[in-house]
Amino acid sequence: MNIENLIKDTFSEREDDAPDSDAVLAAARRRIDRRSGMSRPLAVAAGATVLTLGAVTAVVLNRPDSEAQQQTIATAAGAPSSQAADQAGAGLRMPFSLGWLPPGAVSHRAQRVNIGSSTANPDVPLYGGEYMLTVTADGQALDVGVQQFRMVPVEQATFKSGPGQSVTVQGRAGVESSVSGGPGGYELYLAHPEGGSMYVHVSAAAGSTAPAQQLVDAGRRIAENIQFPGSTTVTPSYGLRDLPAGMKVCAFGVERSRDRSEVLNTKYSLGTCTVLPPIFVNSAVAGDPAGTPGDPVQGHATRYSDSGGYRQLWVLDALDGGPVAVAGKVPLADLYDIANRLVLPH
């Protein structure tokens, strides 16, 4: 499996929300080429080594700009049960928190991806975390994206709308878009305290409008209040319990379904986190999967397929009427083992 394809696929899934994937990949490639010691394992930061996750139907993000400085916002089809909350524990920790957001109602997708590391810093992922959300107030909707690019320094910034200009935010160097009123909205790359950059993007959502200065003001204030390390946790729509010895959650994603906005898709990459993960778990499966009927899992019918040793096992009707898929180039018995460790809502 090619690390460049992994990175590019990650951006391609969010073509409307992320900087141009080809440009970012090119910058990343240049960065990697200058490091002769670069290796290709996938490393996990400490916050993602979660072994037991909860079966709930909500994404929960801490928003510390309320009177209590710790207001919790949940966008959910239903509230989690107390049993599910207990199983969730601390949830999935994001690598940074958003200390400020524009006033309004927040609907969001949140994801953390860890891809690649250097031999010098094996515990530092090249691609960190990401928030994507929409803030609505008084009939106006703003799209906000905040991402962590470990491998892209500010001097390699690329923009959607036009050239950038140097800026300093909270004493840190950055580059921001000089065309904030353009189709890309406001964009800012800000130096990350441990290397690389943070990318902040604020634009008017589809069907809405916003003056350029409003976008600039919101983007800069978001950047000023990014908090390291993160204390925000994300609650997945289903979890995993008691993973096999030596196996961890190396990467995760929680996001709203593109075709069913009320459904939250949750993805996991599982492995030792010292090599690219061999097992992937995903609820973002469209339609009725084709395959051979298999053994039941937790009372659910299953189907499986084998394509050149890459095997997929679908647990049918597991989440919101849809399947959860467990896949990888591993024996089918290993996929059944993970499927039986799923924590599904009932």
Residue 230 CA to its chain's centroid (Å):
14
Q: How far apart are CA 60 and CA 75, in angstroms?
A: 7
User: For 251-304, what is each residue's pLDDT tens digit?
Assistant: 888 887 655 556 678 999 898 877 777 899 999 777 789 899 999 999 999 999
| E-strand stretches of 99-212 | 105-115, 117-118, 127-137, 140-149, 164-169, 172-177, 186-191, 197-204
DSSP 3-state assignment of 47?
helix
Query: Residue 326 above 80 pLDDT?
Result: yes
User: For 205-228, what is each residue's pLDDT tens digit?
Assistant: 999 999 999 999 999 999 999 998
DSSP 3-state assignment of 197?
strand
Residue 178: C-alpha distances to residues 164, 172, 221, 224 (Å): 5, 18, 17, 19
Comparison of pLDDT for 11 and 44, the residue scoring more: 11
Q: How far apart are CA 68 and CA 260, in angstroms?
A: 33
User: For 226-265, what is each residue's pLDDT tens digit?
Assistant: 998 888 888 888 999 999 998 988 888 888 765 555 667 8
Q: Please give the CATH topology (third level) of the domain spanning 242-343.
A: Phosphorylase Kinase; domain 1 (3.30.200)
- Averaged over 114-122, what is the pLDDT? 55
Return the structure tokens found at 313.
Answer: 């096992």
Q: How far apart are CA 93 and CA 46, in angstroms?
A: 9
- What's the pLDDT at 150? 80
Name the nearest CA neighbour of 219 among 202, 203, 204, 205.
202
Residue 300 DSSP code: B
How many degrees, rounded to 5, is the angle at CA 299 between CA 294 and CA 303? Answer: 20
For the ranges 151-160, 260-269, 301-310, the lowest mean pLDDT is seen at 260-269
Query: Residue 123 above 60 pLDDT?
Result: no
Number of H helices, E strands in the chain: 5, 24
Query: To the nearest whole number, what is the mean pLDDT of the chain?
Result: 74
Give 329-335's long-range contacts (Cβ < 8 A, gap of 24+): 329/278, 330/278, 330/279, 332/304, 332/306, 334/279, 335/279, 335/304, 335/311
Query: Residue 65 above 90 pLDDT?
Result: no
pLDDT-derived band at 51 (thresholds 50, 70, 90) equals very low
- What's the pLDDT at 318? 93
DSSP 3-state assignment of 42?
coil
**In the block, residue with structure tokens 């096992």:** 313
- What's the pLDDT at 245? 92
Return the structure tokens found at 1.
Answer: 């499996």
**In the block, residue with structure tokens 């089918």:** 332
Read off the pTM: 0.70
- What's the pLDDT at 169? 92
User: For 75-89, what is each residue's pLDDT tens digit?
Assistant: 222 223 233 233 323
Q: How far apart are CA 257 and CA 307, in angstroms?
A: 26
- Measured N-to-C along each axis, helices 3-12 and 21-33 cross at an angle, to the nearest 10 degrees, of 150
Domain boundaries, the chain: 3-233, 242-343
